[in-house]
Each structure stands twice: as structure tokens, then as C-alpha cells.
């Protein structure tokens, strides 16, 4: 029986390759390599492979950033996997940078206590994806369906029996007891975002409608300095610029924050300036001057294409939604609580990141869990996968009726949901904004998957009456003594819709 992998980023392709020689279908809404965050990752993949480093040190760094919400067993498992993930990727032909002695070149990123960022120049994600795409295209047991997206999970007594795809206006039903959701994050649901448009949380809607539990949805990492030049998605002005001494200033040249503080602290400081009507700029004129183009060629090219010369003018920036820590709750094998449904990569909430993500742990998580999911499926006979493991779900599975809107109506609906998310579930939240967006989205949640996902995120943020990690409530600025995960199911929304 073929397994079906929905989504073709690092999580999905890792799972498909690890499942071979078991037959697999991989579904991607675009040509392989397009429409996924994995190919956009620049920095690299964190793994304790350097001399003097140990998975235990990376474990400690990850826990320190996660603000009490990491699942320690999952963190340990993932950090221990680091070296074998790098080895596996190299076997597929990923050209990671090495020094003259042949050792992996390891970068250092914020909140890592050791140099452990394995990279391929400044386009690591693209290098990884190119190698894996070549591998999946040449694996005879992997069938690839491009330009198709999953629109419904087929269930029988609460158990996965298949998936329905939409391709070129037609529906295709694939029968399978094994579905792997690897659809990436929900971050394109925000207006100000750094991720591809395909990653708006469609996988969360599919899972929720199938009866799966979602968790920690309120935890979303905002990148403090995305280019504010009217592009969608917004290009990143890397943290490395601040590391090199670039400063954050307002239009009246006022500095307002120590630029090297944690990502969420800097993002909040910028957000506050903007709420007071200021514009914010990243000023690299003194720190980098004429060396800018040589040190940061990609960012320099973006500046030039926007008519900005960063050697003589500051770069306009604003915080943008960047990474979703929450997702479909899974165990250490990537199993969800719906029999026959697994999830891996950014769509999953494994407990690795807790309330905040340590930089470059996300590519590691996607590759590591893709492999764990495959191992688990290979050890799960199809009759076991389709046997109900818990009480039957009575949920009615409704298609995303937004598909029936005209293109103009659909674009308008999407734009308004994205604006609502950025304005009310942004860097700084409060009950007023979260209640207001819930009231706006609730009437559409039954007919629009985007509204449904936005509503679930807003409700999770409303219920967390504290500030922790990436979730900041101006009306509850302190953390509670006890760190508690949030969980939400579709049935929790019944009174709202
Ligand atoms: C600009 C940028 C820079 C980053 N830099 C780093 C970094 O340096 N290091 C790091 O660790 N992380 C980084 N990240 C985060 C990291 O890239 C992601 O967390 C990771 O790639 C997620 O992998 P994934 O396979 O889960 O999702 P993705 O790679 O996003 O793949 C998801 C796939 O699912 C598809 N899909 C979505 N919905 C459907 C549907 N309904 N049906 C079928 N397919 C669907 C998408 O089109 C896509 O193919 C960065 C992210 C961005 C945006």
C-alpha cells in the first residue's frame, strides 16, 4: 500500500526517501523546489558535529531558548540525531562547506554556545533541496505529483483511508492508510511574512478537520528586520548585519534598543516604535560602509533592486512573521492522534522548540522527523494504521468553500485575513485585539480554511494569559510560574462558529 506525503520541503522529501523501497506518492502544489521554505533557508542547519561540541550542549541551548515548554525527550532525540542527519544529507550529495583540512565549516548563531551551523555558502536550504530533489526523482519507488494540493483527508471511523487532491481543477482520490502531512508552517497567513505564499497553514486545517489535536499555536516567531519595501513575501535583512554593528534607528535617527538582544525583544522594540507612528531603519553606513556589497552580496542586491544604496542610506525594516513553533501535536515518531496520520517539519508541534525556536534547529527537526516518521510507518502494518486507537470522531468534514469564490473574491478574502492576523495577532497582543479578530473570523471558519486556522491561532493566543517566549501579551506581561502547553481541537470552536 502506497504512503502519501503531502508537501515537498525538507520534511516531506526526507520522509519519502527514508520510506524507500516502500512505494510513496509525494504531492507538491508547485514544481519541486518551489513554494517551500526549505529552499529559502540561508543560514544553515544546527548539529553538534564540531570538535568540542556535544548534543548535550545543543540540548541545553535549545532548552534555554524554549522558555520552559520544550519536551526534553524530543530535544534529546533530535540533538542526538544531528550528526547522522548531516551524514545522510551529505550522502545524498549536499555540498556542505568544508575547510582546507576537510572538516565541516561551522558557523555560530545567536544563543548557540558552540559553532555548529553547518552551511552551504549563504544558500544552505537550496543546496539541500537540490540534492534531495535529484534523489527523489531518481528513486523508482517514489511517484511525484506536482501542481496538486491536498484538499481533504478521507476518514472512516476516525481513521485515515485516503486523501483527495486538486490538480488543474480536477479532483484525484488516493486511497492509503498512511498520510504524512509535511505542509510547512502557517506563517503566510500574516500580511507581513518572510515565507512562500503556499505556507498558510493548509495542513493545520486538514488535520483539525480530521480530528487531530493542534498545540501551542500561539507561538510564532517574528523576525525583527524584514525589508519594508512593499514586497510580499518580505526579504530578510539578516541578523548578521546587526552582529556586524548595524544599528536600528527611527526616521529622526534615534537609536532605541540594544540591537544584539534576543530576536523577540528586538522585534517588540521595533513594533512599539511603529505603533507610535515611527518608521524604523537598519543603518549599516558606519559599520559596513563600502564593504557592504562584498560582505552581504545577497542583501546588497535586494537593496539595489529596491533603489536603496545601503552604503549611503539606511534600510527600512519591520518585524515579519517567520516561523511557527505550534502545529499538529505528534509523539517522538511523528504520529498524530488520528490513526494513519503522521506530521513532520514545521507543520508539526513535536515539543522541540517550546515557546521559541533556537536558530537553525528547524531544518534539523524537518530532516530528523522525516526519518522517524518513515521508520514508524515501515514498522506499522496497514491494518494497525487503520485501526481506531481512540474514540471515534463525530466531526463533519467540510471542504474549504473558499475554492468556490471568484479569484477576485478569494484574493480579497485572503488579503483581509492576512491584515487581521498582522494587526491583531502580531508581535504584541492583547485581549481586545484577539477577541476582535475572533469575532471577525468565526463566521467564516466553516467555509474558509484560512479563517479556521486564523481563528484557532487567535483563540490559543487569547487563552494564554501570560507572556512567554515569542508570545507577548501587553495585558499579561509576566510569565506564569508553571509552563503549560496549549491544546486545541476543532470541537473547541463549536460555540464560536
Ligand atoms: C527566509 C527563511 C530563512 C530560513 N532560514 C533558516 C535557517 O537558516 N535554518 C533553519 O533551520 N531554518 C530556517 N528557516 C525555517 C525553515 O526553512 C523551515 O522551518 C523548514 O524548511 C520547514 O520545512 P518543511 O518541510 O516543514 O516545510 P516547507 O519546506 O515549507 O515545505 C512545505 C511544503 O508543503 C507544501 N504544501 C503546503 N500546503 C499544501 C497542500 N495543501 N497540499 C500539498 N502540499 C502543500 C508547500 O508548497 C511545500 O512544498 C527559514 C525560513 C525562511 C522562510
Structure-block grid coordinates of residue 438: 475572533
Looking at residue 203, its pLDDT comes to 98
Global confidence as pTM: 0.95
Indicate which atom in ligand 1 lies nearest the CA of residue 362: 11
355 closest CA partner among 52, 10, 62, 19: 62
The neighbour count for residue 287, using CB atoms within 10 Å, is: 17
CA-nearest residue for atom 9, ligand 1, is 360
Is 14 a pocket residue for ligand 1 (Cβ < 6 Å)? Answer: no
Is 164 a pocket residue for ligand 1 (Cβ < 6 Å)? Answer: no
Tell me if 298 sits within 8 A of 122, measured CB to CB: yes
Indicate which atom in ligand 1 lies nearest the CA of residue 165: 42
362 closest CA partner among 124, 139, 163, 50: 124
The Cβ-side half-sphere exposure at 346, using a 13 Å CA radius, reads 30
Is 8 a pocket residue for ligand 1 (Cβ < 6 Å)? Answer: yes
CA-nearest residue for atom 14, ligand 1, is 41
pLDDT tens-place values along the chain, 497 residues long: 899 999 999 999 999 999 999 999 999 999 999 999 999 998 899 999 999 999 999 999 999 999 999 999 999 999 999 999 999 999 999 999 999 999 999 998 888 999 999 999 878 999 999 999 999 999 999 999 999 999 999 999 999 999 999 999 999 999 999 999 999 999 999 999 999 999 999 999 999 999 999 999 999 999 999 999 999 999 999 888 888 899 999 999 999 999 988 889 999 999 999 999 999 999 999 999 999 998 888 889 999 999 999 999 999 999 999 999 999 999 999 999 999 999 999 999 999 999 999 989 999 999 999 999 999 999 987 755 554 434 333 334 455 665 667 889 889 999 999 999 999 999 999 999 999 999 999 999 999 999 999 999 999 999 999 999 999 999 999 999 999 999 999 999 977 76
CA-nearest residue for atom 37, ligand 1, is 183
Q: Please state, in angstroms and rounded to a whole number, the distance separating the CA atoms of residues 177 and 32.
A: 24
C-alpha 346 – ligand 1 centre gap (Å): 7
Looking at residue 395, its pLDDT comes to 37
Is 11 a pocket residue for ligand 1 (Cβ < 6 Å)? Answer: yes
Q: Please state, in angstroms and rounded to a whole number, the distance separating the CA atoms of residues 83 and 47.
A: 6
Tell me if 193 sits within 8 A of 201, measured CB to CB: no
Tell me if 178 sits within 8 A of 4, measured CB to CB: yes
Best of 97, 109, 198 to mutate for ligand 1, by most ligand atoms within 8 A of CB?
A: 198
**pLDDT tens-digit map of 176-215:** 999 999 999 999 999 999 999 999 999 999 999 999 999 9
Is 241 a pocket residue for ligand 1 (Cβ < 6 Å)? Answer: no
Best of 42, 94, 120, 125 to mutate for ligand 1, by most ligand atoms within 8 A of CB?
A: 125
Is 38 a pocket residue for ligand 1 (Cβ < 6 Å)? Answer: yes
Is 211 a pocket residue for ligand 1 (Cβ < 6 Å)? Answer: no
- The contacts of residue 286 (CB under 8 Å, 6+ apart) are 245, 247
Q: Report the CATH superfamily, name and number, of domain 3-183+325-385.
A: FAD/NAD(P)-binding domain (3.50.50.60)
Please tell us whether the domain made up of 225-319 is placed in CATH 3.90.700.10. yes
Q: Please state, in angstroms and rounded to a whole number, the distance separating the CA atoms of residues 378 and 341.
A: 14
- The contacts of residue 108 (CB under 8 Å, 6+ apart) are 114, 115, 116, 117
The Cβ-side half-sphere exposure at 435, using a 13 Å CA radius, reads 4
Indicate which atom in ligand 1 lies nearest the CA of residue 346: 26
Is 202 a pocket residue for ligand 1 (Cβ < 6 Å)? Answer: yes
What's the chain look like in SS3?
Answer: CCEEEECCCHHHHHHHHHHCCCCEEEECCCCCCCCCHHHHCCCCEECCCCCCCCHHHHHHHHHHHCCCCCCHHHHHHHHHHHHHHHHHHHHCCCCCCECCCCCECEECCCCCCCCCEECCCCCHHHHHHHHHHHHHHCCCCEEEECCEEEEEEEEECCEEEEEEEEECCEEEEEECCCEEECCCCCHHHCCCECCCCCCCCHHHHHHHHCCCCEECCCCEEEEEEEECCCCCCCCECCHHHHHCCCEEEECCCCECCCCCCCHHHHHHHHHHHHHCCCCEEEECCCCCHHHHHHHCHHHHHHHHHCCCCCCCCCEEEEEEEEEECCEEECCCCCECCCCCEEECHHHEECCCCCCCCCCCHHHHHHHHHHHHHHHHHHCCCHHHHCCCCCCCCCCCCCCCHHHHCCHHHHHHHHHHHHHHHHHHCCCCECHHHHHHHHHHHHHHCCCCHHHHHHHHHHHHHHHCCCCECCECECCECCCCCCCCCCEECHHHHCCCC
Tell me if 20 sits within 8 A of 142, measured CB to CB: yes
Is 4 a pocket residue for ligand 1 (Cβ < 6 Å)? Answer: no
Indicate which atom in ligand 1 lies nearest the CA of residue 348: 26
Q: Please state, in angstroms and rounded to a whole number, the distance separating the CA atoms of residues 214 and 233.
A: 26
Best of 27, 183, 200, 372 to mutate for ligand 1, by most ligand atoms within 8 A of CB?
A: 183
Would you name the residues annotated as active-site residues? 263
Is 150 a pocket residue for ligand 1 (Cβ < 6 Å)? Answer: yes
C-alpha 329 – ligand 1 centre gap (Å): 18
Domain boundaries, the chain: 3-183+325-385, 225-319
* Neighbouring-strand partners of residue 172: 165
CA-nearest residue for atom 5, ligand 1, is 41
Q: Please state, in angstroms and rounded to a whole number, the distance separating the CA atoms of residues 473 and 430.
A: 5
Amino acid at each position: 500500500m502506497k504512503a502519501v506525503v503531502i508537501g515537498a520541503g525538507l520534511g516531506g522529501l526526507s520522509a519519502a526517501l527514508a520510506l524507500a523501497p516502500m512505494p510513496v506518492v509525494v504531492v507538491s502544489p508547485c514544481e519541486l523546489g518551489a513554494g517551500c521554505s526549505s529552499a529559502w533557508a540561508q543560514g544553515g542547519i544546527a548539529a553538534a558535529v564540531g570538535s568540542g561540541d556535544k548534543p548535550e550542549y545543543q540540548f541545553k541551548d535549545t532548552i534555554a531558548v524554549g522558555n520552559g515548554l520544550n519536551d526534553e525527550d524530543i530535544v534529546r532525540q533530535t540533538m542526538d540525531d544531528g550528526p547522522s542527519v548531516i551524514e545522510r544529507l551529505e550522502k545524498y550529495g549536499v555540498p556542505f562547506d568544508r575547510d582546507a583540512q576537510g572538516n565541516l565549516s561551522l558557523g555560530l548563531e545567536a544563543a548557540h554556545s558552540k559553532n555548529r551551523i553547518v552551511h552551504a555558502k549563504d544558500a544552505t536550504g537550496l543546496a539541500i533541496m537540490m540534492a534531495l530533489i535529484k534523489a527523489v526523482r531518481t528513486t523508482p519507488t517514489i511517484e511525484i505529483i506536482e501542481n496538486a494540493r491536498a484538499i481533504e483527508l478521507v476518514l472512516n471511523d476516525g481513521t485515515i483511508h485516503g486523501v483527495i487532491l486538486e490538480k488543474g481543477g480536477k479532483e484525484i482520490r488516493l486511497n492509503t492508510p498512511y498520510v504524512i502531512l509535511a505542509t510547512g508552517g502557517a506563517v503566510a497567513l500574516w500580511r507581513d511574512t518572510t515565507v512562500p505564499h503556499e505556507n498558510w497553514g493548509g495542513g493545520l486545517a486538514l488535520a483539525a478537520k480530521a480530528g487531530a489535536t493542534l498545540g501551542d499555536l500561539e507561538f510564532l516567531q517574528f523576525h525583527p528586520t524584514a525589508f519594508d519595501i512593499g514586497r510580499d513575501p518580505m526579504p530578510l535583512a539578516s541578523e548578521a548585519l546587526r552582529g556586524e554593528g548595524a544599528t536600528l534607528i527611527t526616521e529622526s535617527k534615534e537609536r532605541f534598543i540594544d540591537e544584539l538582544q534576543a530576536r523577540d525583544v528586538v522585534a517588540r522594540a521595533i513594533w512599539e516604535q511603529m505603533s507610535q507612528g515611527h518608521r524604523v531603519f537598519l543603518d549599516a553606513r558606519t559599520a559596513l560602509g563600502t564593504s557592504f556589497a562584498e560582505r552581504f552580496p545577497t542583501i546588497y542586491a535586494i537593496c539595489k533592486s529596491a533603489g536603496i544604496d545601503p552604503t549611503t542610506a539606511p534600510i527600512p525594516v519591520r518585524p515579519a512573521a517567520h516561523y511557527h513553533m505550534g502545529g499538529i501535536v505528534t509523539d517522538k515518531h511523528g504520529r498524530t492522534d488520528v490513526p494513519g496520520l503522521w506530521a513532520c517539519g514545521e507543520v508539526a508541534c513535536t515539543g522541540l522548540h517550546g515557546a521559541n525556536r533556537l536558530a537553525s534547529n528547524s531544518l534539523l527537526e524537518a530532516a530528523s522527523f522525516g526519518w522517524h516518521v518513515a521508520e514508524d510507518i515501515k514498522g506499522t502494518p496497514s491494518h494497525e494504521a487503520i485501526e481506531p486507537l481512540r474514540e471515534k470522531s463525530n466531526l463533519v468534514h467540510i471542504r474549504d468553500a473558499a475554492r468556490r469564490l471568484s479569484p477576485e473574491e478569494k484574493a480579497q478574502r485572503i488579503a483581509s485575513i492576512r491584515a487581521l492576523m498582522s494587526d491583531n495577532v502580531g508581535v504584541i497582543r492583547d485581549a481586545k485585539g484577539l477577541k476582535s479578530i475572533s469575532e471577525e473570523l468565526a463566521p467564516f471558519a466553516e467555509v474558509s480554511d484560512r479563517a479556521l486556522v486564523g481563528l484557532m491561532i487567535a483563540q490559543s493566543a487569547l487563552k494564554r494569559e501570560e507572556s512567554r517566549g515569542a508570545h507577548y501579551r501587553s495585558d499579561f506581561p509576566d510569565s506564569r510560574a508553571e509552563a503549560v502547553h496549549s491544546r486545541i481541537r476543532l470541537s473547541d470552536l463549536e460555540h464560536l462558529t
